[in-house]
């Protein structure tokens, strides 16, 4: 399902990242980084919610808006019942829609907002996501204390809060079109190989987007997925070729960009979590776009729609990807 | 944030309910009911996902549409990572947006869909929610085996799947307007008194809706919340009077309608879960509307945005309510 927009712009963004991202190559591009995992809060969940809320307040400040001038907040995260978003929304006091498509939530939010702004149903919107490495470890994987070894294909949940301020006011980056994805499940059950789980969903959405817009991949200066990791990225390229006869060249994956995979061995196959793709896009990629080094970018956020419950029941892991086309204003 | 629509209709609905709802007073109005909790599946979570999927297939059949003719599926549920929705979406193969506003998810979905349909961005949409009593007990409360006694203010999660087919084709019930709510938290920490938690959010959204539309409560033949329960319902009426000087008369709550609270003592203060409000609305209330006994109904779905993690951290429980105005076609 593809939409074309005439009047939607991401005017401002805010990116706040945690200690591992601070040590990564994109550190200078983030608006703010933290040295540790608590940010003055007592628990990982409350810390994550603070990140999301802080990124909203930061984007408000950049856009020179007060909370009461914002029509809508759309937010999502990985915590059960998306409490990072819910508790932040409670403090923020902006009309709120909670969303969940795992790590595809960032683009899901941008699409819902863009549809409403393009038709003048709302005048502006803040779209936010968050993730927290230790919050995710606690909820999804081993107990943190355990420190069990992981396979190389595992990804490392990024710690961050990322917000975008969208309106019909012409400034920043234009949202040109978007494609809502369909859930894809090729039967993979390995929660430590999310790149393999999500690559087919990403491929399908890229294919649908190119088909619906009658474009070739080289229409875009960059097609960027988030977050497949180093193995998933190769799987995606192979799968695009064999399944759809499409050769991806100007392609990258945010999981492999946010960390230095040579030096930061702890992150295994790269970054993940809803915050990873927007942390990279809203900071580093938007900087390249504003400098004219990239004009057209297709951001494809990918999400694995599993839970520990369903993985323990030996079900395979469904995944989804949503795509959004971003352009430098002429 | 209030929207007005010109061209949105709920053409068809499907309601499937579980064993307790089957024994309740609205049983004859449901499209299908089950005698037990598994529906041929091995776990509660898979059973819940089946209910959601089955309700989608049923509404497709009523609307005489195939899956490939549907532009969008919007769904949500209470399970961690909304897996009931995600796994159903995987089987259904319809472009998918996952949402989460707890028991307010049903109306959240209707609003996102209505905004897109009204401006012709999509031609149709299926909005679905589900809940499962034992799935919810397992996840949120005591272990099922424990059978710990609960206070009278506790509600009983309904078991059901409910779907609505919306399009711009004029038939069924018209979606006239809608109001997105703002998260409200008056500091209540008692997860066994969700009526008290959610009543202020419901009151606030009703107030905002009436203010934005310049209407009085008696514009509606019925204002119906879901799900506050018998105590929350009284709190709402009191709170509307003291906080907003509004006297609610044509008012009811779906939590108190789906069960016979005199005979079905197990359900304590009434029904809850994302399925409760649409199970009542799409079956019994739509029947009354189609018979001309109700012309204008304001459905206000209420959600408690907590998690066991946050309740265990002694945080208070934020809540939200979204409202949608439904009308009989002239």
Q: How far is A293 from chain B (nearest CA, A)?
A: 32
Two tokens, residue B121: 């961005």
Please answer yes or no on whether B76 and A100 come within 8 Å at the CB atom: yes
* Confidence check: pLDDT of A143 > 70: no
B32 contacts: CB under 8 Å, gap ≥ 6: B15, B16, B17, B54, B58
Predicted confidence at residue B146, as pLDDT, reads: 61
Nearest CB partner across the interface for A1, out of B72, B81, B89: B72
Name which of A48, A71, A93, A100 to mutate to probe chain B: the one with the most chain B Cβ atoms within 10 A of its Cβ: A100
Ramachandran sector of residue A212 (left: φ over 0; alpha: ψ -120 to 50; beta: rest): alpha
Q: How far is A127 from chain B (nearest CA, A)?
A: 14
> Which chain B residues are Cβ-neighbours of A180 within 8 angstroms?
72, 95-97
Spatial separation of the C-alpha atoms in residues A50 and B225, rounded to whole Å = 31
Spatial separation of the C-alpha atoms in residues B128 and B126, rounded to whole Å = 6
Report helix, strand or coil for A159: coil
Predicted confidence at residue A262, as pLDDT, reads: 93
Kindly report the number of other CB atoms within 10 A of residue A287's CB atom. 14
Predicted confidence at residue A96, as pLDDT, reads: 98
Q: Facing residues of A25 across strands? A: none
Contact B110, B164 (CB under 8 A): yes
Predicted confidence at residue B140, as pLDDT, reads: 85
Kindly report the number of other CB atoms within 10 A of residue B41's CB atom. 14
Q: Facing residues of A77 across strands? A: A130
Predicted confidence at residue B150, as pLDDT, reads: 83
Predicted confidence at residue B192, as pLDDT, reads: 87
Q: How far is A241 from chain B (nearest CA, A)?
A: 23
Please answer yes or no on whether B90 and A183 come within 8 Å at the CB atom: yes
Nearest CB partner across the interface for B97, out of A102, A180, A313: A180
- Whole-angstrom CA distances from A247 to A200, A203, A206, A217, A243 are 15, 11, 12, 8, 11
Please answer yes or no on whether A95 and B182 come within 8 Å at the CB atom: yes
Nearest of A6, A5, A12 to residue A290 by alpha carbon: A12
Contact A282, A13 (CB under 8 A): yes
* Confidence check: pLDDT of A150 > 90: no
Contact A95, B180 (CB under 8 A): yes
Q: What is the pLDDT of residues B252-305, one digit of tens each?
A: 999 999 999 999 988 999 999 999 999 999 999 999 999 999 999 999 999 999
* Confidence check: pLDDT of B318 > 70: yes
Q: How far is B40 from chain A (nearest CA, A)?
A: 15
Q: Taking residues A56-63, what's their average pLDDT?
A: 98
Question: What backbone phi and psi angles, to 5 degrees, belong to A270?
Answer: 130, -175
Two tokens, residue B229: 């329960």
3-state helix, strand, coil in chain B (%, to 5): 40, 25, 35
Q: What is the pLDDT of residues B222-250, one digit of tens each?
A: 999 999 999 999 999 999 999 999 999 99
- The dihedral through the CA atoms of B283, B289, B293, B294 has a sign that is positive
Two tokens, residue B268: 């304590």
Q: What is the pLDDT of residues A207-250, one digit of tens each?
A: 999 999 999 999 999 999 999 999 999 999 999 999 999 999 99
Q: Is the peptide bond before A236 cis (omega within 30 degrees of 0)?
A: no
Nearest of B328, B327, B153, B174 to residue B255 by alpha carbon: B153
Asked if this assembly's ipTM is beyond 0.95, the reply is yes
Scored b (16 or more CB within 10 A) or e, A189-205 reads eebbbbbbbbbbbbbbb
* Domains, chain B, ordered by start: 2-167 (3.40.47.40), 176-328 (3.40.47.40)
Q: Taking residues A3-30, what's their average pLDDT?
A: 98
E-only strand ranges, chain A: 2-4, 9-17, 32-33, 73-77, 96-98, 124-131, 156-157, 160-167, 173-179, 222-226, 251-253, 271-272, 296-304, 319-328
Q: What is the pLDDT of residues A64-103, one digit of tens each?
A: 999 999 999 999 999 999 999 999 999 999 999 999 999 9
Q: What is the pLDDT of residues B107-160, one digit of tens each?
A: 999 999 999 999 999 999 999 999 999 999 889 875 555 667 788 999 999 999
Cα B120 to the center of its chain, rounded Å? 25
Please answer yes or no on whether B101 and A102 come within 8 Å at the CB atom: no
Spatial separation of the C-alpha atoms in residues B280 and B271, rounded to whole Å = 10
| pLDDT above 90 as % of chain A | 92
Two tokens, residue B315: 């945080």
E-only strand ranges, B220-274: 222-226, 251-253, 271-272
Q: How far is B19 from chain A (nearest CA, A)?
A: 24
Instruction: Pick the residue from chain B with its C-alpha nearest to A139.
Output: B309
**DSSP assignment letter at B184:** B
Mean pLDDT of the residues in chain B: 96
* Confidence check: pLDDT of B251 > 60: yes
Nearest of B9, B305, B302, B327 to residue B168 by alpha carbon: B9
- How many CB pairs (< 8 A) connect A and B? 172
Predicted confidence at residue A151, as pLDDT, reads: 86
Nearest of A243, A248, A179 to residue A216 by alpha carbon: A248
Q: What is the pLDDT of residues B274-289, one digit of tens each?
A: 999 999 999 999 999 9
């Amino acid at each position: 399902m593809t939409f074309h927009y005439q009047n939607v712009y991401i005017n401002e963004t805010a990116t706040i990242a945690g200690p591992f991202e601070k040590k990564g190559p994109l550190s200078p591009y983030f608006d703010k980084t933290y040295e540790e995992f608590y940010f003055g809060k007592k628990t990982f969940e409350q810390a994550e919610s603070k990140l999301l809320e802080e990124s909203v307040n930061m984007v408000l400040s950049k856009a020179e808006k007060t909370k009461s001038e914002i029509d809508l907040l759309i937010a999502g995260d990985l915590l059960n019942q998306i409490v990072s978003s819910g508790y932040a929304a409670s403090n923020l006091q902006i009309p709120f829609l909670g969303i969940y498509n795992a790590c595809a939530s960032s683009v899901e939010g941008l699409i819902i907002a863009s549809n409403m702004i393009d038709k003048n149903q709302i005048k502006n919107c803040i779209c936010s996501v968050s993730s927290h490495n230790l919050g995710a470890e606690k909820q999804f994987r081993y107990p943190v204390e355990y420190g069990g070894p992981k396979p190389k294909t595992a990804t490392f949940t990024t710690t961050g809060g990322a917000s975008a301020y969208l309106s019909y006011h012409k400034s920043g980056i234009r949202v040109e079109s978007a494609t809502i994805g369909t859930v894809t499940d090729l039967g993979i059950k390995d929660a430590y190989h999310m790149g393999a789980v999500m690559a087919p969903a990403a491929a399908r959405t890229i294919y649908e987007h190119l088909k619906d817009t009658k474009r070739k991949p080289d229409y875009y200066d960059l097609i960027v997925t988030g977050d497949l990791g180093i193995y998933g990225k190769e799987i995606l390229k192979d799968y695009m070729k064999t399944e759809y006869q499409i050769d991806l060249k100007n392609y990258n994956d945010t999981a492999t960009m946010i960390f230095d995979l040579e030096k930061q061995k702890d992150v295994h196959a790269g970054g993940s979590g809803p915050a990873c793709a927007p942390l990279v896009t809203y900071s580093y990629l938007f900087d390249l776009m504003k400098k004219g080094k990239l004009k057209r970018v297709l951001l494809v956020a990918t999400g694995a729609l599993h839970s520990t419950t369903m993985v323990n029941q030996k079900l395979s892991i469904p995944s989804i990807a949503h795509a959004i086309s971003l352009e430098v204003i002429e």
